[in-house]
């Protein structure tokens, strides 16, 4: 433990996942026995998806370290090499910070690299949103892989908790906490987009496969269908997984 305070290092790779954890990170930062450190990497550094570092600052946070790694959005053949490089960079920062706990969320490759670096480096790994499902997608395997190397689990639902138990995780390590991203969703939609709660649709579509043409067709159909029934629609950019170029082109 770092002195009298336990040092929590959160690894963030996207604005989306950072937004989900913002209230949790604020609570960690304000706790007298905890010390928060932030590592920013991945899509935060890709201006095509917005300025993630600026968004963090506007939310009252700053990155304590930046790992220069942007997972490919169109060529999965290089992703393994890039992930290894990202993991190496994260491992160096964890050692520099004298980390006690590595905190990750979800199923992104940045979270996987961070969890692997933490596990192999001998740190406690805490995983939020373990036990969820994304059937048929590579994210599903990454999420479960993170869960198997994590020491502490914070699933969002009772069903996710049961999945973790069926995977062989000790029940005393599992703490169902709900979905932290629920905090402020309606407020953000109303204040920033000008939409009235309960009368709008929020569309988020991430790649199911790497074929850009099929992803574009799929997104076209989604937008046409939603527009038929709901007049006010807010569309959020996809992540940068292979296939995302097709979604953005729709």
C-beta separation of 127 from 28 below 8 A: no
DSSP 3: T
pLDDT tens-digit map of 39-83: 999 888 877 766 888 889 999 999 999 998 876 665 667 888 889
C-beta separation of 128 from 152 below 8 A: no
pLDDT tens-digit map of 85-138: 999 999 999 999 999 999 999 999 999 999 999 999 999 999 999 999 877 677
Consecutive H or E run containing 94 = helix 79-97
249 pLDDT more than 60: yes
pLDDT tens-digit map of 150-198: 999 999 999 999 999 999 999 999 999 999 887 766 566 556 555 555 6
199 pLDDT more than 80: no
Consecutive H or E run containing 145 = helix 138-149
pTM score, two decimals? 0.77
| Angle at the Cα of 129 from the Cα atoms of 125 and 133, rounded to 5 degrees | 125
If pLDDT is split at 50, 70 and 90, which confidence band does 235 have?
A: confident
Burial 156-183 (b: 16+ CB within 10 A, else e): beeebbebbeeeebeeeebebeeebbeb
Residue 248 or 161, more confident: 161
pLDDT tens-digit map of 136-145: 677 789 999 9
3 pLDDT more than 60: no
C-beta separation of 95 from 65 below 8 A: no
Single out the residue of 183, 196, 238 nearest to residue 23, CA to CA.
Answer: 183
pLDDT at 73: 60
Please list, in sequence order, all residues whose beta carbon lies within 8 angstroms of the beta carbon of residue 184, skipping any fewer than 6 positions away: 22, 23
Single out the residue of 193, 130, 184 nearest to residue 157, CA to CA.
Answer: 130
Domain annotation for the chain: domains and CATH numbers: 6-182 (3.40.50.2000), 185-249 (no CATH)
């Amino acid at each position: 433990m770092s002195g009298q305070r336990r040092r929590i290092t959160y690894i963030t790779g996207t604005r989306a996942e950072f937004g989900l954890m913002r209230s949790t990170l604020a609570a960690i930062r304000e706790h007298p026995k905890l010390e928060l450190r932030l590592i920013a990497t991945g899509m935060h550094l890709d201006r095509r998806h917005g300025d993630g570092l600026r968004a963090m600052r506007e939310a009252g946070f700053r990155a304590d370290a930046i790992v220069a790694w942007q997972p490919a959005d169109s060529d999965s053949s290089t992703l393994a090499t890039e992930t290894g490089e990202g993991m190496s960079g994260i491992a160096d920062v964890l050692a520099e910070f004298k980390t006690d706990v590595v905190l990750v969320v979800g199923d992104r490759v940045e979270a996987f690299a961070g969890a692997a670096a933490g596990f192999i480096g001998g740190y406690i790994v805490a995983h939020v949103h373990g036990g969820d499902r994304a059937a048929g997608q590579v994210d599903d395997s990454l999420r479960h892989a993170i869960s198997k190397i994590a020491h502490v689990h914070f699933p969002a639902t009772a069903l996710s908790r049961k999945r973790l138990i069926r995977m062989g995780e000790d029940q005393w390590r599992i703490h169902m906490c709900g979905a932290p991203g629920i905090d402020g969703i309606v407020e953000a939609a109303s204040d920033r987009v000008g939409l009235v709660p309960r009368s709008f649709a929020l569309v988020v579509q991430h790649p199911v496969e790497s074929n850009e043409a099929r992803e574009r067709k799929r997104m076209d159909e989604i937008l046409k269908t939603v527009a038929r029934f709901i007049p006010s629609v807010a569309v959020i950019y996809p992540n940068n997984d292979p296939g995302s170029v097709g979604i953005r082109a729709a």
